């Protein structure tokens, strides 16, 4: 999979995309992430990427030319499955969307900044608009990092034990059961006996029961979503 991220502040993406599992996924050749600085596609001495909104009002709007120049350069090099715009008024991101995007070959993710982007980019280029929650961030970069992380960890071979991505919270619409590691007792707080029993079938049943219980208590809406 290849993801091209378009931004006016590439520095924000540096660490989240190149550290830990996402960094290793790229080193192993499982994913390629390319960050493009939109300023490099802007004209003039100041390489302006934003301008005042027509009709007045506070804040600046990302200009159409640098964004379109960058998109069209990428599109001339390969075909993209989706051109995603990160914005608070997009469709709410969830595991189902992450699963479906993880099967794509090439994605472009455009990060909004300032007051947003010129609406004509949304009308003529964007194929999918994603929000990571009902709150407003200073820009789409952290949201793009969240989406990239959720997608890339699902690619086979990225997480060493593939089981572990399949048993995540939200796969099967269930939250994950509680987990424990050594020591088996700390300050008198004991790990449930069943996990130490070595009885695989009983442990699997216990984990499923715990997942259902946790989901009923914390996110009953997931159980109604059939």
Binding site for ligand ADE (CB under 6 A): 86-88, 112, 131-133, 135-137, 140, 143
DSSP assignment letter at 56: -
DSSP letter string over 147-205?
Answer: HHHHHHTTSTTSSSSHHHHHTSTTGGG-PPPP---S-SEETTEEPPHHHHS--HHHHHH
CB 5 within 8 A of CB 34: yes
The CB-nearest residue to ligand ADE is 143
Cβ at position 57, least distance to ligand ADE in Å: 18
Cβ at position 62, least distance to ligand ADE in Å: 12
Q: What stretches of the chain show up as alpha helix (H) in DSSP? A: 11-18, 20-27, 64-77, 95-101, 119-124, 141-152, 162-166, 193-196, 200-218, 220-223
Nearer to ligand ADE among residue 140 and residue 177 (C-beta): 140
Cβ at position 134, least distance to ligand ADE in Å: 7
Nearer to ligand ADE among residue 138 and residue 197 (C-beta): 138
Cβ at position 7, least distance to ligand ADE in Å: 11
Nearer to ligand ADE among residue 143 and residue 211 (C-beta): 143
Nearer to ligand ADE among residue 22 and residue 111 (C-beta): 111
């Amino acid at each position: 999979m290849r993801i091209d991220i378009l931004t006016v502040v590439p520095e924000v993406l540096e660490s989240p995309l190149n550290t830990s599992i996402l960094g290793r996924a790229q080193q192993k050749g499982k994913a390629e992430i390319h960050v493009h600085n939109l300023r490099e596609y802007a004209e003039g001495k100041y390489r302006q990427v934003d301008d005042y909104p027509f009709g007045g009002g506070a804040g600046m709007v990302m200009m159409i030319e640098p964004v379109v120049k960058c998109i069209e350069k990428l599109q001339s090099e390969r075909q993209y499955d989706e051109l995603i715009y990160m914005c608070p008024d997009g469709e709410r991101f969830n595991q189902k969307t992450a699963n479906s995007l993880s099967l794509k070959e090439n994605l472009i993710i455009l990060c909004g900044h300032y007051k947003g982007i010129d609406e004509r980019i949304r009308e003529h280029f964007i194929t999918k608009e994603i929000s990571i929650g009902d709150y407003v961030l200073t820009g789409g970069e952290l949201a793009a990092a969240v989406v990239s992380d959720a997608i890339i960890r699902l690619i086979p071979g990225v997480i060493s034990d593939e089981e572990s991505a399949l048993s995540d919270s939200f796969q099967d619409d269930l939250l994950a059961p509680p987990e424990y590691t050594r020591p088996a007792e700390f300050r008198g707080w004991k790990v449930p006996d069943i996990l130490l029993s070595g009885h695989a079938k009983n442990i699997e049943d216990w984990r499923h029961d715990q997942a259902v219980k946790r989901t009923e208590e914390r996110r009953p809406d997931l159980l109604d979503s059939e």
